[in-house]
Chains A and B, each alone.
Chain A
Amino acid sequence: MYLLRHVPFAPLLCLTAYLQAAEAPTPVFKQYCVQCHGKTAMGGISLEQLLAQPSVGEGFQHWEKVATALEQKRMPPPALPQPSDAERARAVSWIRTSLKDYAAKHAGDPGKVTVRRLTSGEYAYAVQDLTGLDFKLERDFVPDSAGGEGFTNFGDVQFLGDANLERYLHTAKLIANHAVIGTGPLRFFADPGKTGFELSALNRIQRIYTTYGFRATGAEGARPYNLEMYGKAFYTAWRFKNRKSLGEPAMTLEAMGAQEGLNPRFVQHIWKVVNQSNATYPTSEVTTRWQALPAAPADKAKLREECTKIQQTLINWPRMLFAAGALAAGGAGDERNLVISEETLRGETSHKFRFGTRGRPAKKETVVYLTGLSVNPRSTDKPIVLWQNAKVRFRKADRSAAEEKPLLEVIDEESRKHLTPTADNTGFTTQSDQPIPIRIPFPDGIGGMELQVEAQLLDQGKRDAIVRCTVSDQADVSTGRPVWALLADPASPGYLSWRAGVLEFGANLPQNSQYEAAPADRDPIPPTFDNTYNQPERDRFHTTLKYYRHDDFLMENMLDDKTRVELNQAWSDLLASFDYHEIFIKFLKEKNKPQAEIDRLTAENASIDAELLKAQPGHVEDCLRLASKAWRRPLAPEEKDKLRRFYTSAREGAKMTHNDAIRALISRILVSPAYLFRVEQPLQARPRSPLNNWELASRLSFFLWSTVPDDELRRAAEKGELSDPQQLARQTKRMLADPKARRFASEFFGQWLGFYRFDEYTGADTSRFPEFTDDLKSAMYDESVSFFEYMVRNGRPVRELLQADYTFVNPLLAKHYGMKEIKGETQRVEGANAAQRGGVLRMGSVLTATSAPLRTSPVKRGDWVLRRILGTPTPPPPADAGSIPADDKGFGGLSVKARLKEHMRNAKCAACHSKIDPLGFPFEKYDAVGRLRTTYTDGKPVEDEGGVEGLIQTLKAQEPQVLRNLSYKLIGYALGRTVIASDQPLVDKLVQAGGAATFTQLATEIVTSPQFRFRRGQEPAELAKDVKR
């Protein structure tokens, strides 16, 4: 009032100065408005202040409100003097015209954008993308706050104090501690420090082994894998052999292998092996079959089948030799690793067997099978096995020892017929490839027995016989647990040449391309250790050394050069991760083991040290690359120098180790303002200047992904493509289809619609709603995020925001919602409307977040619709507004609706609540944790005024307003500022795109707008101040 009385024309003068189109209807405002909207600024609006601004642009949102209120005759209040219709119309038209003129004149103004600090969310995502690790940083590890259009990415509310910086420093060091600094390039691993270094190496080794290698027999509990590589390689070799008849004469072996997903080295190897003209046994078993494959043309499917059979042959042969169990074939039982070595192929002239059966409960009898299978095809005669001194020791059902008797005294008559007793009757002979059953009836109370017997080859004349001799209680040895021996004369040439053949087979067509890096029970430990189970040396290996490398076949015949290097580096890292060599050498010396092994280890140790040293300069360069990614631009030469100097002075000045210095350098990169702040450099003294390509890439990436630009964006920026709006549009499309767009769903939609971090929501009273568990919260949060991720990535029309007939639930949430039972993970469910779900209005997260802890709040929900969906919030309630009781149990007979009717009786309340309440009641069918209900806790029926279906119809009719609000939010989020008057043409464009538009379309409009692509230059006044500085 004071202002108007004493200097009435001051504002008017300002206005006329820039507005020639029409004169401001100041007298109208003065007469009818300023009494309340002057100094007192009721509802936060002061026309006095608005008129005093240099342009309508300054208070444009208020001007909009004034125009609407006048237009709808909501103001002045009925009780007060009213302007004439003409006055009203003139005022409204003046406001609208002035705003339009202003917008047209200033359209595309980039506006004032304060430099933005990474939000906690952005920081976490960026770190994830820089290191490949999710550090599960506390979500508020540096406190954020919301501002602008309601988002945390608004520079003016991003503060930085020393406590924040301490957090950044702490977090940067934590991240740096996850760096793996070894013989290879810099990388990061899930576990930190020394442990992480070791595990990272082991992890890389395992990944290479399981990706590129194969195993037919596992260690204990393991499963075979990648065996089909053999079949594919046999097939590839066949195809190459027949390439002319197959009509692909120019095709190389390697190219054919690549089509099967095989490495060139492996197909080359197999090609060589299968084409041998006189392969030794048992390799010949494979080559003969492969060479007999029909020539092309042939049924390819059948041929593949044949190749798989050949593969099976080569797997089966060792299994036969070692009488192995069925594990590798998919069964259970024998988990032996079928190692082919001089040790395992050791032939004996005689062998003492002990074979036992378990004792409980008492049984009537048992059957033991004796087998002497000839395994040398060159030995033509059927070998005869002599069994001597056979004894049976019975065991009672309680396992205590019972009597011991010669075997021949206790077997039944039928069994005796298979045996030929020796002359002195101390033994018997067998001559058969087939298992010979021996039935042993048990005396009363006996449950088990142990058979002891000595076997030897009878006829010493047949010196090249080699017999796989077994004792088992199963006729088929592969299903039981036989005891096994290879009977042969170890000095005979027949045996020796046979063994050479088997060893060659084992080397050329192995069962396993490598052993485990950390040998499990069934993989052999280093030969210098005693491999006997539970013996001190074996235990010592497992507790002190753990690792042993045995992957010659893989290295030699399967890996390409690059992977070889990676594997070597991983092994070097693993062995460098602790005092492997020292421990190993100490053991060897202690036990007087061969000097050659000590020498080998000493040399290996020295070479790993050299490798580590050689890798050091690379790590510094890797850090520079990391800095460039983290800082979102190429580094200037002097910046590179600065970082290098930092490293050097850490090494030389502070005497840090290489590892510590690299970690310090990483920390330093991650606390730099270049990382923490999204700095954009304006060109001086221009009204606006285009952002450079790197700044654009950064804006784009933070807008759509909340993170630093990826390689593709960096490439585009490098090439300068992003100056072209078409390229920006292309990138936008790509990025919003990418899985990383899920972050857009949680960051933008979450903050806009109020389900941000809902999985940590604590507002519901869990003693009243015990079903509101952490799992349910997560499911609700997941529903919301997945819903918007789906909409964005699949180009769904924006109107589905409210109208979608689908939603995302997991079994728990489906049950909570009373929907049809489902199984498995979170999934999209169509036809959700039938279950009264679908769209944001019926999401558990939103329904819960807009409730009080114990009851629903139609006011909060109505306010949510006004504020978040329509963008037309009412002013805050007067300070002395009353309230309704906390608990819907406590209404004393009055329904919520009846209580809220009070609003209508009081004119002060009614002005706003007549707008709020009708938008809140339709949600009443959903309780305070988002479940459907038909009655309140007091049993009274729920009235929901047409329900959410009705509300959706209402909002459909106001679609342009919904879209306008969405546009405000999207523009505000993209630009990190509030929407300003000159944004109106852009807003209009988005609104005009209509409800069928996709988010990609809207985002593209924004991304290609001058607001997004330019930055305001410095005001001349600011520049002048700079000069003085």
Chain B
Amino acid sequence: MKINPSRRHFLRGAGVALALPWMESLRAANKAPVRFACVYFSNGVEPIHWWAKGQGAQMELGPAAQPLLPHREDINFLRGLYNHQAFISTSPHLGRMPNLLSCAKVSLDPADIRVGTSFDQVMAREIGGQTAVPSLALGIEPNELRLEDGLSMIYGSCISWSSPTKPATKEIYPARTFDQLVGDGSGRQLDKTILDSVLDDTHSLQPKISRGDRVKLDEYLESIRDIEKRIERAKKEERIEGWKPTLAKPNMPRPADQLPQNVPDHMKLMLDLVVLAFQMDKTRIVTLMLNNDLSQMNFKFLEGVKGALHLDLTHNGKAAAAEAMYLKTNQFHVEQYAYLIRRLKAIDEGGQSLLDNSLLMGCSNLFDGDTHGADQMPIVLAGKAGGALQTGRNLDYLERGNDNRRAASLYLSIMDRMGVKLDRFGDSSQRLADL
């Protein structure tokens, strides 16, 4: 997936109105936009606990997916999708995780960090300019500062990649996320003055340094431009579209500066911020990692669970008691996703709920967590994408042949509904059938 920089700059430079083809933007003028969120949890599920039977109101769900039962008419349960590049990677963890949303190959050369741009970031680039914040990449756990089998744990800490070689900055602090959403750009004249001036430093450095280094400085330059644009956008805040968000001022207090002390509070706060972002239409694209890959998140906060997610609970030696605990962690993760569904459903956007105007993807990169199984992935979609997606379905792709069950096809289909039409993404050039 490569986007011509000149086209990109054209899109970004031209501003909101031209980000969509002209006809489409007219059509969209009075319609609420579609919001996309991906809620990710690491280390997969226990296969016998993850299934769906039947359709619509009659749908039955396996134990791990139980928290979705009240929402079965709002979801699509997708069975059998897989990420081919993850499947064939020799590295059971880091080769199979950072490429979840790009379906690209993960470079296993320690000197070359390379994955592929994830589709949320492709969308951020294409349509992110319509909102104050192009996209959010959120998480709960910080980047781990170590190597795993000689590879940087930056891989295990990021699912959103803004370029093949650069992860989107993951934010784990609720307060900073809040500030990013709520800051209106007023009082940022000083920042703009400072940034304008250092931009000049960067330009004068550029001719003097090597080409390789210039790539790094380009990251810096681009960051400056991104901030300046954000300041500009936030300052304007007038909309060309007729549609108005239902919330103009935040309806939650600013979170404390520190990280929340316990995991459930932290996750809830981050999910509330996603809701806030969507409701205020500050961004339409979010990814949220409930944990990092190889997470040692201690789940003692769940009744009857002891130990760390990866080492103790996922790799549970198939001991019955440990399996039961692992199931509880699966359910806990799905419950977080269900919480987001519940909250969005309760918000009315003029006839439809915010959930109806959303497309929420809940997923993990592995299926059988204990065996690092990448032959398929647990994926659920929720929300009607503004009417572009029928829900209440249980779709099975497992036996349709590898070419017809690629996750990248799903991503193409999702991007369609978000207004980003690509011919090809990752390892697929076809939309997911029957969606």
Contacts and interface: CB of A to CB of B under 8 A. Distances in A.
B145 A152 contact: yes
A60 to B, nearest CB: 12
Contacts of B245: none
B9 to A, nearest CB: 16
Interface size class of B (residues with CB under 8 A): 35 or more
Interface in B1-42: none
Contacts of A173: 190
Contacts, number: 232
A119 to B, nearest CB: 9
B145 A886 contact: no
A632 interface: no
Interface string A827-859: 000000000000000000000000011100100
A108 B143 CA distance: 34
B322 interface: yes
B90 to A, nearest CB: 6
Interface stretch (A7-15, A534-542, A754-762): A754-762
B220 A884 contact: no
A770 to B, nearest CB: 13
Interface stretch (B201-209, B270-278, B333-341, B423-431): B201-209
A114 B311 contact: no
Interface residues of A, number: 86
Interface string B33-63: 0000000000000000000000000000000
Among B93, B195, B220, the one with the most A-chain Cβ atoms within 10 Å of its Cβ is B220
Contacts of B153: 145-146
Nearest to A117: B216
B182 to A, nearest CB: 14
Interface string B156-198: 0100001000111111000010001000000001110111011
Interface in A131-182: 140, 143-148, 150, 152, 154-167, 169, 172-173
A161 B162 contact: yes
B150 interface: yes
B303 interface: no
A880 B372 contact: yes
B125 interface: no
Contacts of A155: 216
B110 A148 contact: yes
Among B93, B153, B169, B191, the one with the most A-chain Cβ atoms within 10 Å of its Cβ is B169
Given A114-B216, A876-B91, A887-B307, A140 B142 contact: yes
Contact of A642 (B144, B171, B200, B202): B200
A143 B143 CA distance: 7
Contact of B227 (A148, A165, A676, A682): A165
Interface in A628-682: 642, 646, 650, 654, 664, 667-668, 671-674, 676-677, 679-682
B193 A144 contact: no
Contact of A751 (B145, B224, B319): B145
B319 to A, nearest CB: 5
B154 interface: yes
A636 to B, nearest CB: 9
Contacts of A654: 189-190, 193
B224 A147 contact: no
A112 interface: yes
B241 interface: no
Interface in B258-317: 296, 298, 300, 306-308, 311-317
B416 interface: no
Given A148-B110, A162-B223, A668 B194 contact: yes
B312 A161 contact: no
A441 B213 CA distance: 96
A115 B321 CA distance: 50
A882 to B, nearest CB: 6
Given A150-B146, A673-B220, A159 B166 contact: yes
Contacts of B91: 44, 876
Interface in B134-157: 142-147, 149-150, 152-154, 157
A961 B224 CA distance: 47
Given A164-B169, A165-B223, A677-B220, A886 B205 contact: no
A664 B322 contact: no
B396 interface: no
Nearest to A158: B216
A878 B91 CA distance: 9
A146 B312 contact: no
A942 to B, nearest CB: 20
B312 A887 contact: yes
Given A162-B169, A674-B201, A756-B145, A765 B298 contact: yes
Interface string B201-241: 11001001111110011011011101100100000000000
Given A668-B198, A673-B205, A679-B205, A161 B223 contact: yes
A682 to B, nearest CB: 5
Contacts of A673: 198, 201-202, 205, 217, 220
A403 interface: no
Interface string B91-134: 11100000000000000101111000000000000000000000
Given A166-B227, A857-B311, A145 B145 contact: yes
Contacts of B321: 885, 890
B169 A163 contact: yes
Nearest to A887: B306
B371 interface: yes
A876 B93 CA distance: 9
A248 B370 CA distance: 87
B316 A44 contact: no
Contacts of B189: 654
Contacts of B202: 673
Nearest to B93: A876
B149 A875 contact: yes
A295 B137 CA distance: 85
B212 A112 contact: yes
Contact of A879 (B92, B171, B216): B92
A679 B306 contact: no
A882 B315 contact: yes
B317 to A, nearest CB: 5
Contacts of B371: 879-881
A146 B152 CA distance: 5
A1018 interface: yes
Contacts of B213: 114-115, 679
A160 B220 contact: yes
B373 interface: yes
A682 B169 contact: no
B90 A162 contact: no
18 contacts: A143-B143, A145-B145, A145-B153, A146-B152, A147-B147, A154-B152, A159-B166, A163-B171, A173-B190, A671-B194, A754-B146, A768-B306, A873-B149, A876-B92, A883-B316, A886-B312, A886-B316, A886-B325
Nearest 8 pairs of A and B residues by beta carbon: A883-B315, A886-B312, A886-B307, A145-B154, A162-B226, A163-B169, A161-B169, A115-B213
Interface of B: 90-93, 108, 110-113, 142-147, 149-150, 152-154, 157, 162, 166-171, 176, 180, 189-191, 193-195, 197-198, 200-202, 205, 208-213, 216-217, 219-220, 222-224, 226-227, 230, 296, 298, 300, 306-308, 311-319, 321-322, 325, 370-373
Given A853-B298, A881-B371, 12 more contacts: A145-B152, A161-B168, A161-B226, A674-B201, A676-B220, A677-B217, A754-B146, A876-B149, A879-B371, A883-B317, A885-B319, A890-B322
